[in-house]
């Protein structure tokens, strides 16, 4: 089983990786500015689920494939990049309607909640920063002689979504508070909506152009 020392060491390494803003943080901030605090927090939850799905994949062998196959890595990377660009374009298209949407009561229907969770899940699942980190680093903290290697990976991997939820939620709350100031002016709100969309597009393009050193 996982030793307390290995767990603590891996958690510390994960913390260092997460505090350096990456795709998930920038995406969360953009979502908080464009669609609000609630949806940003839902995005954080979906993102964490997507990242933990990467952990499960690493536990059962996909991590080795991603680490050794440029084709698989590229497919995952481009899928996430394309989805970010799509969300950015949607944010820009609807930027002028943000003031109306904010003044109206946004229905918290199960369908809307699931859609926001899905957006976060897809971005978390296709995050090249975390998949490469997990595939290359996480197995080094596993003790093969202790047996149950997949279970060890699953237990160690809990660190990543758990710490990410705390960190990304803080970013979402801060960005959501900033959005409240922008919401006092329809023009300012449209500007921040367009800017948030542009950030998502830029993030998607940046991920698409990034090599395997991510």
For residue 51, which of 122, 113, 117, 119 has the smallest C-alpha distance?
Answer: 122
Structure tokens, 36: 């609000």
Residue 102: the pLDDT is 47
Q: Would 149 be classed as within a structural domain?
A: yes
Q: Would 99 be classed as within a structural domain?
A: yes
Q: What's the structural domain count of the chain?
A: 1
Q: Would 8 be classed as within a structural domain?
A: yes
What count of other Cβ atoms lies within 10 Å of the Cβ of residue 178?
Answer: 13
Match 């609630």 to its residue by tokens.
38
Q: Would 123 be classed as within a structural domain?
A: yes
The average pLDDT across 170-179 equals: 82
Alpha-carbon gap, residue 159 to 178, rounded angstroms: 29
Q: Would 214 be classed as within a structural domain?
A: no
DSSP 8-state assignment for residue 123 = H
What count of other Cβ atoms lies within 10 Å of the Cβ of residue 127?
Answer: 26
| Averaged pLDDT score across all residues of the chain | 76
Residue 105: the pLDDT is 44
Match 């002028």 to its residue by tokens.
96
Residue 161 has pLDDT above 50, yes or no: yes
- Contact call for residues 81 and 87 (beta carbons, < 8 A): no
Please give the backbone phi and psi of residue 63, each rounded to the nearest 5 degrees, phi first.
-60, -40
Give the domain range for residue 61: 4-15+22-209
């Amino acid at each position: 089983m996982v030793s307390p020392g290995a767990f603590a060491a891996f958690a510390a390494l994960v913390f260092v990786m997460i505090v350096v803003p990456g795709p998930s943080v920038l995406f969360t901030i953009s979502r908080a500015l464009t669609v609000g605090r609630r949806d940003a927090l839902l995005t954080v939850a979906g993102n964490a689920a997507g990242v933990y799905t990467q952990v499960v994949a690493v536990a059962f062998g996909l991590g080795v494939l991603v680490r050794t196959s440029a084709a698989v890595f590229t497919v995952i990377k481009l899928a996430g990049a394309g989805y970010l660009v799509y969300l950015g374009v949607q944010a820009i298209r609807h930027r002028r309607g943000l003031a109306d949407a904010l003044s109206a009561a946004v229905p918290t229907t199960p369908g809307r909640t699931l859609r926001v969770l899905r957006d976060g899940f897809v971005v978390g699942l296709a995050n090249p920063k975390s998949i490469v980190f997990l595939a290359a680093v996480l197995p080094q903290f596993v003790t093969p002689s202790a047996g149950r290697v997949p279970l060890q990976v699953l237990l160690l991997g809990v660190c990543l979504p758990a710490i990410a939820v705390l960190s990304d939620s803080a970013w979402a709350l801060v960005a959501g508070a900033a959005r409240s100031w922008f919401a006092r002016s329809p023009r300012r709100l449209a500007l921040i909506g367009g800017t948030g969309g542009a950030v998502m597009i830029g993030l998607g393009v940046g991920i698409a152009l990034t090599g395997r050193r991510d």
